[in-house]
Chain A
Amino acid sequence: MGVLAVWILERPVGLATLALPILLLLWARRPTAPLRVATGAFELWRSTNDGDPPRTASGARRVSPRTWLLAAALVAGALAVAGPRRSDPPPRVTWTLELDRSPSMYLPVAEGAARTRYDLALERALEELERLDVGPEARLWISSAGEQARGSAPPGAWGVAPIVPAPELSAGRRDRIFISDSLDPDQLSAAGGVAGGGAPVPGVVADSGGRRVLWDGAALVDGGPSPARRVRVDSGIAGELRELVELWCAERGLSVLDDGGEVALWIELPAPADERSVRVLAEGWGLRGRARVAAADGDEAWSALDGTPVAWSSGPGRLRVALTHVEAFEGGSAALALDWARWLDAHLLPASDVVSFAERQAAGAARTWSFAPPAAEAGTTQAADGVPAPAAWLSLVALALGLAAFAPLRRGRSNARSAASRA
């Protein structure tokens, strides 16, 4: 199907000339009465049937090779007349669908509802894509959290709020379809978009200084003390660093655990491995000690002079520290504390139920802005230039077959002439 689909005929009516070779073959095989020959040797012919059931002369003529060649030439000629050519492949178009994964998208569409604004917006977008007959291969999903995926729908995991809140969409590019709970038409410009809408969702809008701020739908009110948040620090991490983390936790109102439970930050020690002496030099501080040799599986924060990673992030709310002993600090300890505190702050997960006041506001009514088909990607619609059209090849084949069909005929005639002249 795929192979046939790329061929089209410029003059389909030309296929009617295929009747010519068919008629030729029918004519060549037309049934005929056997040749009647008078003979005085009739009894001899009768004797050739002895012990052998009589076979009647067949009615159909035998088609000569020359006739077959001529029929093939006519078929090739008929196809050439029809003008076959490869159809231009359909332009490759990619619909880039940018999906909002900011916290507001994971609020329920209404207070107490099971479905989220994400579900609603995505559902409308998929309907629109189906209406436009956009195939799965043409759908490129990009989330505001930075992920990409192709397929009929975004990965199911995107339906769950990211641990690290993603930024809101900035619907400015013309060649994208934006999917969110609320979109600014002025920002959309010529781009398409789906706004799923949603009712306001009251709830915690801030958590600071051990108190929570609650929006009750009309005003901001005190939400009571913040729930205890915990930081897990694996045993085995250098005691000096553990003390630093405990100081940071005390400053932030966090408690420190050795294991288990839901935590806002987990500082891990890499799996047991060889240890080596390391020296770390950072901006304004340094240290010497021992560290487990392990490959960094995330963004590296610091490494030793010999390249051994000593601290890196391995996922949202998860840090790895390979230092097991600190023999000596170098430089200013304040600079070290400041660097580490910033690093820990950057990876501390927010309370999951805290959504900003602005995001808890109503998203308005659902709305869809028309999806304009994106431009075809360059280089996907051009056929090869300089290659002779199939019709030209077919014409040549037809000519060659035609010559081959008549060549034996001329040779046969010349043979007959020479035989006659010899006689």
Chain B
Amino acid sequence: MMWQLGPNAVVSASCVGPLHRAVDSVFENFRTDPARDDGSIRPLELDARMDGSGALQLFASGAPIVRAESAEALAPLLEGSLLGYAVRTRRDAAAFHAGSVVIEGRGVMMLGPKGSGKSTLSLYLAKNGANYLSDELALVRFEDAKLLAFPKSVTVKQGAFHLFPELSAEPTHQDPVRGPIRYYRARSGAVQEHPVDLIVLPRFNAELDAPRISKLSPSETALELVQQAFGGLERGAPRTLDLVGRLAMVPAIRLEFPSCGSAEEAIVGALREGR
């Protein structure tokens, strides 16, 4: 089986064993037909073998990479590794720690560090009619500053399991860093690229009664973008710097929210205000 993660990034794995299921649980939307492989890109060949202790060793193109204590730990390990592989072979776009969706024809980039709630919010919005682009890795093309879809399955951490009861039938994966997680196989939307119309810095805060919104100045937005850029400004220099300069002029808000529903209302309100 094969998955195309980018213009220069193809992954292959045998259909036998737990490996292809693990890749599929994260990257199902990237599946490609092996028959269409023209041989121009050498795929990263994945393999998983049981070692003496019953753990799985992940191999990539012949080399032992890392050990997964169980089949449940395989998908999160692959998620991180293959995200890195996809980003580091991607020459046409900057990468940010951000979720991204298109709501009412407007592109929203939700920028923030781990734990800010951007994945959960991306999923909530996608389930409520937004066009899903990505949950934690936003690719923005250097050339025209457009968001590009990277529709991997949305990672839902244990704290948000209750928000998505339909996931209760899905397997729980053991991430050695993030703890128990589940994957929501969000459908890739019809829109695959879109300009950024609003930048949101989400922060979940259960103690609030209502969302708290504050507008960001271009300088604040610029510094947030730099902090959340993969590889900082060094990656793709000087194009990333130019891109940050362009994106910093997009309307941006800091949004503390007590629930996804209230965040959605605030985002839609900000989009309408910006029209």
Is the pairing of A and B real? no
Q: Which residues of A are in contact with B by a Cβ distance under 8 Å?
A: none
